[in-house]
Homo-oligomer: A and B are copies of this chain.
Amino acid sequence: MIELSLGQAIDRAIENAMSEDESIVLIGEDVPMLRAPLYARFGVERVMGAPISESAFIGAAVGAAMEGLRPIVELYMVDFLAVAFDAVLNHMAKLEAFSGGEWHCPVLIRAPSGGGYGDGGQHAQSLWGMLSAIPGLTTIIPSTPMDAYGLTRTALRHSGPVILFEPKLLSEEWLEFLGRLGREDLEFDVPENASGMVNEDEFAPFGRAVTRREGGDVTILSLAVGVHRALAAAEALASDNIQCEVIDLRCLSPLDRESIRRSVAKTGRMVVVDEDYRNYGLSGELAATVLEAGLHPTFVRVCVEGTIPYNHRLEKDTLPSVKRIIEAVKEICQS
């Protein structure tokens, strides 16, 4: 067991996997510097800096994966996946179906996501809703270093394409690289316990949610930073005698519908906390999940409702905050 940040845990998972599996290569802009220890260890042939050509190098990763490599592609931010969306939607996700199940594409895309450090709305999106909508992709979104490690390890043995969202606010390295930049007295609203212990032998399964806190009154469904906000809200609400169950979804595709239904059946109340856009995304899918099971909870969502503003205070209010979660929970406990 070692204590790592979420970003370090992913790095470690990659390093361990690369040392076990010669077919893994790491591709991305600036990776020789960003992942200098890997570059120093695995050399220029396995850690490949790429020009600013996301369509070409993600597309190439798909081809390389088809022909025997296992590429990991690093993006600077998930927002930039938009310039290479075709490689995702029309190629990596469809290969298996198009080939009648005969060909596979084991690509892992590592995509830092989310805001909270005042970088503006083209650099703060989560987008896991729309990406999870695409049949043929696996999407994983860790909220703890242990899950980050374990899910990455699993992804690097999986036969299909996986998108790994790395919440920047939980990755000390990204915060330093994009936000703090040497300014020592700059504070971000980073959840406590963003760092944590990692057991390097443990893999995490896809499609399995985790209950982070038990409670009988309300089910809060969340992921990534939202889980930490929800736990803080639950803590505060406990003193008002409201017991929240906090479920960390971890993986959106496949989605652990069973666990969601079990908890919602118990509490009859459901709050979705999501840093992604509200409409046509995760919160809706969760509503459908319970309705399909014939459950009829009260329901409220705490999501992002518009383009994320640059102003740091407005940004905070736009992203799901502890305050907004508490209000939402109280609202459905009263109704």
Contacts and interface: CB of A to CB of B under 8 A. Distances in A.
Contact of A121 (B97, B285, B292): B97
A291 B280 contact: no
Interface stretch (A1-9, A13-21, A153-161, A296-304): A296-304
A130 interface: yes
A261 to B, nearest CB: 13
Contacts of A280: 129-130, 132-133, 252-253, 280-282, 284-285
Interface residues of A, number: 54
A90 interface: yes
A134 B288 contact: no
A4 to B, nearest CB: 30
A286 B285 CA distance: 9
Contacts of A286: 284, 288
Contacts of A93: 307
Given A136-B306, A280-B284, A294-B298, A79 B83 contact: no
Given A89-B82, A285-B284, A299-B292, A121 B133 contact: no
B306 A97 contact: yes
Nearest to A130: B130
B288 A136 contact: no
A23 interface: no
B130 A94 contact: no
Given A82-B90, A284-B280, A136 B307 contact: yes
Contacts of A134: 277
A190 interface: no
A93 to B, nearest CB: 7
Contacts of A83: 55, 85-86
A253 B281 CA distance: 13
Contacts of A306: 97, 135-136
B79 A82 contact: no
**Ordered nearest first, which 4 A-B pairs have the shortest CB separation?**
A284-B284, A97-B307, A296-B296, A85-B85
18 contacts: A79-B89, A80-B86, A82-B85, A82-B89, A82-B90, A98-B121, A133-B280, A135-B305, A135-B307, A136-B306, A255-B279, A279-B285, A281-B284, A281-B285, A286-B288, A290-B291, A291-B296, A294-B335
